[in-house]
Structure 1
Amino acid sequence: MLYYTGNNSGQIPGNLPQPYYWWEAGAMFGSMIDYWYYTGDPTYNEVTTQAMLWQVGPNQDYMTPNQTKTTGNDDQSFWGLAAMTAAEVNFPNPPENQPQWLALAQAVFNTQVPRWDPTTCGGGLRWQVFPFNNGYNYKNAISNGCFFNLASRLARYTGNATYAEWADKAWNWMRSISLLDDAYYVYDGSDDTINCTRLNRIQWTYNAGALLLGAATMYNYTNGSQIWQERTEGLLKATDVFFQDGIMFEVACEPVNRCNVDQQSFKAYLSRWMAATTKAAPFTFNAIMARLRPSAQAAAQQCGGGDNKRTCGMKWTQGATWDGSFGVGQQMAALEVVQANMIAQSRAPVTNSTGGTSPGNPAAGTAGTALFERVTKGDRVGVGFLTTFVLCLFLGMIWWMIID
C-alpha cells in the first residue's frame, strides 16, 4: 500500500500513480479484501472501501468515464471481481445509501452480456469495450475468462441459473475456437478480423487462474458434477507449465526478463484463484497446496530487497538473491501467494443462503435502471407524502382550469 497515493490530499481515490493502469488498482484492492479475509485485520478496510466506491462510475457499474481510453472488459472485470469477493467473504458492507458489493458485481456482468459478439468468431467478448481503442478486434482469454469466472460465482452466490447458463456459454465458446484446448492449456487470444482462425498461443498465469476458479465454482454450483470435476482437474494439471521445481513463474516473460508492468502482477491472480479453488472444489486442496507452499516460501525469500529490506522481487525461482525489480505487481504477487497459505484456516465463501449479507440488484447496470439504493421505511413514507402532495396539486390545477 506504500505505492498507493489515491488517499493523499488532491489525489483521486482508487487510482494508482503512473505507470500503473486503472485495472491494476482494482486488482490491488481485491488483494486488500483478501488480506482482511485471511487475517481479520481491518487496517486497510476504510481506504479499500473508499477506493472501491469512488471508482464505480455514474451508473454504478465500474464504467468510469475518465478511463475510457484504457477500459477493456478485463479491466472492468477486475473491479467487479473484487466486489464479488467482498460479497463472498462478507467484507463490511458500504453505507446503505451507497452501492453494494453484490449489486456492483451484478452490474459488471449485466453490462458485459450485451457486448457478447456473435458476429465474428461465433461469439465471445472483445478485449476492449470501445471501438477507438487498440485491441478492439482482439477476443482474448482474460476478458472471457473473467466473465466466466464472474458468471459462475454469481450463479453460486445467488442460485440464479441465468448466470450459470452464461458461464456455460463462455466456456463452450472458448473451447470452440481452441482458446482452451483439449489439454486444458489456455492461450491468450485471437483476432476477429481473421474470424479467430489463428491463435496467439502465449500462456499467462492469470488466464489459467481465471478459468480454474470458474470451473471449480461450477463444480460447486452443480453439486459436484463429473464434467466440471474433470474440467477443474484438467485446468489444474495444465498449470504445471507455470511451475519450475514447484515454484510459480511467469513462463512467457520471466526467463527472458521481458515482463512488463502488468505482467509483473499476474502471479498474484493465479495464487488468489488457486486458493479460492480449494474452497469451491475441496478435492483440489492437496495438489494446489503442493504448488502454493513452496511458491510462498520462495516469494518470501525474494522480499528482502531494496533499502528497506522488505521490497519483493519477481523471480521467486532465484532464491534469496533479490532480482532488483520492484513495484505494485511484485508486492501484490508475494502477498497473495503467502496469504493463500492460510486458506485451510479460513471460512468458506458465503452465498445468499449461507450467511451472505450483501444486498443485490439483478437489474443493476441495465439501461433505465435507477441507481441502486436500499429502500428504507422512511423512504417509503417520504414517497407517500410526496405522491399525495403532487396529486393534490394536480387536482387543484384541474379545478382551477375548470372554473376559469
Structure 2
Amino acid sequence: MPRRIRLVLIALAVVVGLQPVAAVQASPPPQASVAAGSTDTRAADESATAVARARVATEVLLDSYDEQKAWFPSSWWNSAVALQIIGDYMERTGDRSYLDVLDHSFETNKGPFPAGERSTDEIYGNFTSRAIDDAGWWALNWVTAYDLTGDQKYLDMAGTIADFMHGFWDPSTCGGGIWWNEERTYKNAVTNGQWIRLTAELHNRIPGDTAWLSRSREAWDWYAASGLINSDGLVNDGLTDACANNGDTVWSYNQGLGIGAALELYRATGDAELLAAARRLADAALGSDALTTEGVLTESCDPLGRTCDDNQKQFKGIFMRYLTELADTTGDARYAQFVDRQAATIWANDRDSAERLGLRWSGVGTAASPNVFDWRTQASALSALIADVPQDAPSRSLSATMSPTQLVVMPSPGATSSARTDVEVAATSEGRRPVRADVRVSGPRGWTVDPARSRVRLVPPGDGRPARASIPLDVTVPANTPDGSYPLTVTVTARPGLSYTTRVTIQVASTIDFDAGSTQELAWLWDAGGSGLSHVGSRFADGTSHFVYRFPFPAEATSAEATLTIDNQYVVQVGPDGESWTTVLTEDEPIRDSSNKADHTLDLTPHLGPDKAVYIQVTDAFPEDGWGGGVYHVAAEFGTS
C-alpha cells in the first residue's frame, strides 16, 4: 500500500532544501564502537529509538489522511483529535514536517457543511455544530496549532469556538456546567473537562486576560463538586436528570480530561491543590481495574468478546496525552514508568506487519475477537509512543520504513517469482551533520534480495526534519514456495549506537479470497485512498476518497474475473496499471440503506496488464452526499489457455 501522503510531504521538504541522500553504496561502513555499560549512551540510544518509532507511527497515521477533505475519513471530532496528536508529535520531537497538514485542515474545514458532509450533523462554520463536545475537540486542536506556529488565526479560532461553547453554560440546571448538545439533554464529563482545559489554555495565552480565567475557575469548582468524580476517584460519564453521578462507564478519556483540566488551571493559578487534584485522578486511574489490566491501559470495551466503536477507539490516546503532561510537570517516576510500559507493550505486541498500531495495547486477539487496526487505533496508540519521547528530545535519530509494507506474489508453477519494494531511511542529527547508515536486509532461507547490504549518506537540514533516502530492493522468490506470509527484515545502523529494524511481509498466494477490513485484505489493498471501514464490515469510499485493489496474476494467466460484494453508491473501475481506468459497474440510484447489496462478477480479461496485474478501483457515484460504495468481500480467479 503506497504511502502517498507521506511521499508528497517528503517532496515538499526537498523543495525547501532537504538533502535526502548524497550517495548509495554497496560497501558497508565501519562498525560503531560504543562503550559497554554506558548508562548515558544507552539512555540516549533508547531516546533516539523512541523518536524513530513515533515518527514511523505518525507517517502510518498520515497514510489515512484525505487531502481533498483535509481530514481523516468519516469522523469529524476524531479527526480533530488525530490532528492534535500530529501536533503533539511535532511539539515533542521538534520535527515540523506536517505544519502544512494542520493549515490545510484549518483552511479547508473552517466553513459550513451540510449534514452528512463532515458529520451526521450540520457544521455551522468555525468547527461548531449541535454537538458541543465536537467543537471542543477542534478548539483544543487549534490551541496546539497556535503553540506550534504562533499564528494568531489558530488562537482566534479557539476563542471563537469557546465563545460558542460558553453559550451552553447553564447554572439553572445542576448549578452550572456546559450542556453536551444543543438540545440541552445531558451534562457530562467530556464537555466540561474540555471547557475547563480550553478556558485555562486561552487565559494562559492571552496577555492580560481575566474573563477566561474566571470562567475556568468557576467551571472547575462546579466540576469538582458536581459528583462526576466518584468515591474511587474515577470520572463517570455524566449526571442524571436529578444532577447525581449516573454511574455510567468510566472511560479513560474522561479521566484524562480531568487530569488535563486541573493541570492547565494549575499553570494559570499556581494553586497547589489543583496539581494535587490532577495527581489524585491519575493515581486512581493507574490503580484501578476499571482502566488498567496488568499495568496496561485498557478500556472497558477492549476485552475479548467486546467491541469498541469508532469513538471509543481513540479514548486511551486522550488519557495518555494528559498523563504525559502530568509526568512532565511532576517528574514522578510512577507516571514515567507507566508511560514506558504502554509504549513498550504497544511496540512489542500491538503492531502488525504494516506498522499499524491496534486497539488492544496488550496485543491480545483471537479469530472470533481479533485485534482491530485502523487510523483511529493508530492515533490513540501513537499518543503513547509520543509520551515515551523525553521532553528534551534527542537531535539524533534513525528509522526505516518499507513501501509497500505488504507485497503479493502469485507464482507460476515451477518458476521463480520476483517482487519489488523500497526501503526508506530517515535520519536527524545535530545541525547539518551527515548521517552514514548501513542497511542490511535478510529474507527467508533460499530467497535472494538485491542489494542485501548498502550504505546511505543523509544530510538533515538541521531544523528537526529528517533527511530521507530510498533504496529499491529486488526480491526473488524460489520456485514452488508454498502459499503463506514470508517476512523480509531490514536493519539500519549508524554510529554511534543508532539502530532500527523494520519489516515487510511478502504474501505468496495462489488464490484471492478475503473480507474487507480483515488482515488478509491488507496484502491486496494497493491504495487505501482515504477510504474507511464501516461498522457493518465494509470498506467504503465517500466523496472524493477511493480505494484500489491490485491482483498480480501469474505470467501464464490469459483470463481473469473477480466477484465483489458491494452496496450503496458505487463506481467500480478496472485498469492494467493503476492509472488508466475503464468503468465497469455503476449504481445509478442514490441508495443509502444497503438495499442493493449484491455480488457482482467482473470480467478482468480485457484489463490484464503487460505484467498480468489488474487494478480495481472503487469510488463514490454521488460524491456530494456521503454514501459511497462499500465492498464487503472480494474473490478473484484466473485461467490459462
Residue of structure 2 in register with 1:375 after alignment: none
- Matching residue within 83, 87, 91 for 2:149: 91
Residue of structure 1 in register with 2:355 after alignment: 310
Give the residue type in structure 1 aligned to 2:109: Q
1:226 aligns with 2:283: no
Residue of structure 2 in register with 1:121 after alignment: 174
The 2-side partners of 1:69 and 1:82 are apart by 13
CA contact (8 A) 2:128 2:161 kept: no
- Matching residue within 101, 104, 127 for 1:47: 101
Give the residue type in structure 1 aligned to 2:379: M
1:4 aligns with 2:64: yes
Shift of residue 276 of structure 1? 2.3
The 2-side partners of 1:246 and 1:203 are apart by 17
CA deviations over 1:136-175 (Å, ceiling 9, x no partner): 4111100111111111222222352322222222222223
Give the residue type in structure 1 aligned to 2:83: F
Residue of structure 2 in register with 1:389 after alignment: none
CA contact (8 A) 1:187 1:203 kept: yes
Residue of structure 1 in register with 2:315 after alignment: 266
From the superposition, tell whether residues 345 and 5 of structure 1 become closer, same or farther in structure 2 (CA, over 3 Å): closer
Residue of structure 1 in register with 2:597 after alignment: none
Residue of structure 2 in register with 1:286 after alignment: 333
CA contact (8 A) 2:253 2:319 kept: yes
CA contact (8 A) 1:246 1:290 kept: no
The 2-side partners of 1:68 and 1:35 are apart by 23
From the superposition, tell whether residues 255 and 290 of structure 1 become closer, same or farther in structure 2 (CA, over 3 Å): farther
- Indicate the SS of the match to 2:300: coil
CA deviations over 1:207-241 (Å, ceiling 9, x no partner): 11111012112222223x23113212211111122
The 1-side partners of 2:111 and 2:242 are apart by 33
Residue of structure 1 in register with 2:386 after alignment: 339
CA contact (8 A) 2:363 2:371 kept: no
Runs (5+) with no aligned partner, structure 1: 94-98, 348-404
The 2-side partners of 1:120 and 1:312 are apart by 42
- Matching residue within 125, 128, 141 for 1:82: 141
The 1-side partners of 2:165 and 2:128 are apart by 17
Give the residue type in structure 2 aligned to 1:199: N
- Matching residue within 299, 321, 330 for 1:250: 299
CA contact (8 A) 1:142 1:210 kept: yes
1:150 aligns with 2:216: no
Rg: which structure is higher?
Answer: 2
Q: Which has the higher contact order (CA 8 A, sep 6+)?
A: 1
CA deviations over 1:222-278 (Å, ceiling 9, x no partner): 23x231132122111111222222221113554552211110111111111111233
From the superposition, tell whether residues 111 and 317 of structure 1 become closer, same or farther in structure 2 (CA, over 3 Å): same
The 2-side partners of 1:78 and 1:116 are apart by 17
Aligned residues: 321
The 2-side partners of 1:74 and 1:3 are apart by 27
Give the residue type in structure 2 aligned to 1:12: K
CA deviations over 1:10-38 (Å, ceiling 9, x no partner): x3223x323xx200011111011112112
1:13 aligns with 2:62: no
CA contact (8 A) 2:80 2:137 kept: yes
- Quick check: 263-272 or 338-347, which moved more? 338-347
- Indicate the SS of the match to 1:121: coil
Residue of structure 2 in register with 1:235 after alignment: 281
- Indicate the SS of the match to 1:100: helix
- Indicate the SS of the match to 2:239: strand
TM-score, normalised with respect to structure 1: 0.72
Residue of structure 1 in register with 2:348 after alignment: 301
CA deviations over 1:309-339 (Å, ceiling 9, x no partner): 3222111124699943111221011211001
Runs (5+) with no aligned partner, structure 2: 1-60, 113-121, 395-641
Shift of residue 195 of structure 1? 3.2
From the superposition, tell whether residues 196 and 85 of structure 1 become closer, same or farther in structure 2 (CA, over 3 Å): same
Residue of structure 1 in register with 2:221 after alignment: 172
The 2-side partners of 1:335 and 1:68 are apart by 24
- Quick check: 146-155 or 41-50, which moved more? 41-50
Shift of residue 104 of structure 1? 1.5
Give the residue type in structure 2 aligned to 1:4: S
Q: Please state which structure has a larger fraction of its residues in helix.
A: 1
Shift of residue 298 of structure 1? 0.8
CA contact (8 A) 2:235 2:254 kept: yes
- Indicate the SS of the match to 1:126: coil
Give the residue type in structure 1 aligned to 2:198: L
RMSD: 2.9
CA deviations over 1:61-95 (Å, ceiling 9, x no partner): xx93389997411111111101111223x3363xx
- Indicate the SS of the match to 1:65: strand
The 1-side partners of 2:331 and 2:264 are apart by 12
1:26-45 to structure 2, matched below 5 A, reads 26-45=80-99
The 1-side partners of 2:309 and 2:165 are apart by 27
Residue of structure 2 in register with 1:400 after alignment: none
From the superposition, tell whether residues 41 and 172 of structure 1 become closer, same or farther in structure 2 (CA, over 3 Å): same
- Matching residue within 359, 373, 381 for 1:326: 373
Q: Please state which structure has a larger fraction of its residues in strand.
A: 2
The 1-side partners of 2:242 and 2:279 are apart by 30
